[in-house]
Amino acid sequence: MCGIVGFVGKQQTAPILLDGLSKLEYRGYDSAGIAVFNDKIEIVKTKGKLQGLRDLTADGTNISGSLGIGHTRWATHGEPTVTNAHPHTNKEVNIAVVHNGIIENYQILREKMIGRGYEFVSETDTEVIAHMLDYYYEGDPIKAIIKIMHRVKGSYAFGIIFESHPGELYAVRKDSPLVVGTSEDANYIASDAPAILKYTRDVYFINNFEIAKLTEKCCEFFNEDGELIEKELSRIEWDMEAAEKGGYEHFMLKEIYEQPKVLSDTISPRIVNGCITLDELELGSDLLKKINRLYIIGCGSAYHVGVAAKYMIEELTDIPVEVDLASEFRYRNPKMDKNSLAIIISQSGETADSLAALRDIKGRDIPVLAIVNVVGSSIAREATSVFYTWAGPEISVATTKAYSAQLVSCYLLGIQLAFVRGCIDINEYQSLIVDLQKLPEAIKEILGNKERIQWFASKYAAAKDMFFIGRGIDYAVSMEGSLKLKEISYIHSEAYAAGELKHGSISLIEDGTLCVAVATQPSIYDKTISNVVEVKSRGGYIFVVTNKEHIDIEDTADFVVYVPVCNPLFAASLSVIPLQLFGYYVAVAKGCDVDKPRNLAKSVTVE
Ligand code: AGP
């Protein structure tokens, strides 16, 4: 996912652009560049990290001007090179553009522009925008932007400057995130708020096809007909410390340790006088009463939340729950029951597959509830209703606190569904709520014993393969544990429904193969342990995550981590913690770039 920053104001823009881009590095990138306007547009680009830009511009001091745009590129079309780095310009270098997203019809547009005599220097989709702006510009940037808007297919957030319009910064978006920041003597654009929080926390969230025109003193917004529109000013409440490491070695560890607070922040405001209140969702108990089916859709860890939620909600209610990977859902032809509710789970709220699934479902007149962490994100704005997780900015690419916040959001929803539908009585309802409120303290207890996990993990830095197994909710946690390990340590691992291992993959078990078993569900604990014994008898080395009711496991397992006893329906919130720590410490032992793993970005805004 690329990063965009733009500035127009009194101060020199280059240092501000560089600072803003540094706050977006976590999104993953492979090249960077800035365009600054003084008497003319000056472009500086680099392959690799931002330091290259700092070196070329003497930390922004050798390039002057108080209007500019900056970009960190996560390559989608064309290799990471200086030529392909943004900003891109027209031939005369009097129009410069930065872009986050994908222009799906850029080949056609490129051919058309070549036919009009334009020459291309890069392999990117973005460059076509610079030439189209040149072609359609007849003195009014808004009109030129509107013309390209209607010709471009795909997703975009553009930051644009025109030499003929000094002191004016333009931006427009469709499906890619963009925020406008405003202060007394300057205005900003950014892909994400951390880039500008140092300067302002007063922001406008612009919607698809809305154009922003910023000057030093003014923010104007136009719709796709070129009409001036009013926008509501929002205020970002969390501060930069929340987006800094806070003394931890990595954002990931900080965010693992933030989980008790995050769970409290997500749960507590929704418990009033001992009852769950979900009024913010405006779904109404009538809808909750009449739905016949739930569809839960997400990618990666968000999908794993859906799998755990399925078991929990089907246990508590009379509602069948379907869980889909968003990338699969959008291309199968699901026969959806009209009386359904779809839940899209997405930390970033910008995942392309999940956004596409949302639109497909809304096209069927089925309400979509989004469980999202990023305020004002595309999924949040397009959903019928939004359940915000209040995890704060999650900087590490590997999700932990947002995953946990999504889990408890599903618990709240599941309990409320069960109660309004008469599946549980008031006593069970209140008992479940009390159990839910115990989770933050239980997580703190697990985190207090991290040393054993750190010691055990350090022995597996050289491992080549690992298995994660479990049944039911434990299986969902196994998936998450496996993903955490492989995405940050690059060690191959598989998550298997414990009962499925014997149907083929157990042939992979050799002497010393590590198998991590999650066994917290009382009704199927013995079944899982029999699968553990199958693995052990073939030479596997067994690491079990269970609770203190199963001390007998010491006779079977080689290494055990106990989590506090809790309501089994909510056990995923506890058993995932040792697996997050395990994956983290294995990656640290391997010297991996834990917060910015190779090939990954924090939000996958392309297919
Ligand atoms: C999780 O650690 C991964 N980074 C990835 O699987 C992520 O969960 C997935 O891309 C979905 O992202 P989202 O929640 O922002 O939609």
Beta strands in 285-423 (DSSP E): 293-298, 321-325, 340-346, 368-372, 385-388
Residues 6+ away with beta carbon under 8 Å from 337: 292, 293
Share of the chain above pLDDT 70, in %: 97
Return the ligand 1 atom nearest residue 402 CA: 14
> Could you tell which of 604, 606, 607 is best to mutate to test the pocket of ligand 1, judged by most ligand atoms within 8 Å of the CB?
604
The Å distance, Cα 300 to ligand 1 centre, comes to 5
Lowest mean pLDDT among 4-8, 124-128, 386-390, 472-476: 386-390
Distance 348 CA to ligand 1 centre (A): 8
Closest ligand 1 atom, residue 379 Cα: 16
What would the mean pLDDT of 403-429 be, rounded to a whole number? 97
Residue with CA closest to ligand 1 atom 3: 398
Q: What is the pLDDT of residue 244?
A: 57
Q: How far is the CA of 423 from the centre of ligand 1 (A)?
A: 32
Q: How far apart are the CA of 403 and the centre of ligand 1, in A?
A: 9
CA distance 183 to 14: 18
User: Of all protein residues, whose CA lies closest to atom 6 belonging to ligand 1?
Assistant: 300
The residue whose C-alpha atom lies closest to atom 4 belonging to ligand 1 is: 398
Give the angle 488-491-493 at the CA atoms, nearest 5°.
105
Task: Give Cα separations from 184 to 17, 201, 409, 491 (angstroms).
Answer: 18, 12, 38, 50
Nearest ligand 1 atom to the CA of 400 is 2
176, 351, 401, 595: residue to mutate for ligand 1 pocket, most atoms within 8 A of CB: 351
Q: Name the catalytic one among 2, 299, 410, 592.
A: 2
- Of 1, 26, 175, 301, best ligand 1 pocket probe by most atoms within 8 Å of the beta carbon: 301
Residues, the chain, total? 607
Distance CA 521, CA 312 (A): 11
Work out which ligand 1 atom sits closest to the CA atom of 604.
10
Ligand 1 atom nearest the C-alpha of 299 is 11
Q: Supply the pLDDT for residue 497.
A: 96
Of 23, 174, 213, 602, the catalytic one is: 602
CA of 404 to the centre of ligand 1 (A): 13
| The predicted structure's pLDDT at residue 243 | 58
Alpha helices in 367-522 (DSSP H): 378-382, 401-420, 426-437, 439-447, 450-458, 473-489
Instruction: Establish whether 219 is a catalytic residue.
Output: no
Question: What is the pLDDT averaged over residues 40-54?
Answer: 96
Using CA of residue 349, residue 597, residue 251, residue 576, what is the dihedral sign? positive
Look at residue 27 and tell me whether its pLDDT is greater than 70.
Answer: no
User: What mean pLDDT do residues 281-291 have?
Assistant: 85
pLDDT in tens, 116-171: 999 999 989 999 999 999 999 999 999 999 999 989 987 899 999 999 999 999 99
Question: What residue owns the CA closest to ligand 1's atom 5?
Answer: 300
* Threshold 0.75, pTM exceeds: no
Q: Which atom of ligand 1 is nearest to the CA of 354?
A: 16
∠ at Cα 411 (373, 378), nearest 5°?
Answer: 25
Q: What average pLDDT does the segment 547-561 reach?
A: 93
Alpha carbon of 309 to ligand 1 centroid (Å)? 17
Q: Residue 242's pLDDT is what? A: 63
Average pLDDT, the chain: 93
Q: Which residue's CA is minimally distant from atom 9 of ligand 1?
A: 300
2 tagged catalytic: yes
The Å distance, Cα 72 to ligand 1 centre, comes to 20
Tens-place pLDDT, residues 526-540:
999 999 999 999 999
Enumerate residues lining ligand 1, CB below 6 A. Answer: 299-302, 346-348, 351, 354, 397-399, 483, 487, 603-604
Best residue among 74, 299, 482, 584 to mutate for probing ligand 1, ranked by most atoms within 8 Å of CB: 299
**How far is the centre of ligand 1, averaged over its atoms, from the C-alpha of 398 (Å)?**
7
* Nearest residue by C-alpha to atom 7 in ligand 1: 300
Residue whose CA lies nearest to ligand 1 atom number 16: 346
Ligand 1 atom closest to residue 351's alpha carbon, by position in its atom list: 16
What is the whole-number distance in angstroms between the Cα of residue 175 and the centre of ligand 1? 17
Return the percentage of the chain with pLDDT > 90, whole number: 79
The atom number, within ligand 1, closest to the CA of 600 reads 4
CA of 603 to the centre of ligand 1 (A): 7
Radius of gyration of the chain (CA): 25
Query: Which range has the worst mean pLDDT, 85-89, 106-110, 170-174, 429-433?
Result: 106-110
Spell out the residues 6+ positions from residue 181 whose beta carbon is closer than 8 angstroms to its own. Answer: 187, 188, 189, 190, 193, 196, 199, 200, 201, 202, 203
Residue range 511-528, pLDDT digits in tens: 999 999 999 999 999 999
Q: Read off the pLDDT of residues 320-374 as tens digits, 9 standing for 90 and up.
A: 999 999 999 999 989 999 999 999 999 999 999 999 999 999 999 999 999 998 8
Determine which helix (DSSP H) or strand (DSSP E) holds 10, and give its type and residue range: none
Q: Residue 602 contacts by C-beta under 8 Å, 6 or more apart in sequence?
A: 1, 26, 27, 28, 348, 394, 395, 397
Ligand 1 pocket test: which of 347, 375, 397, 580 has the largest number of ligand atoms within 8 Å of its C-beta?
A: 347
Across residues 213-239, what is the average pLDDT? 93
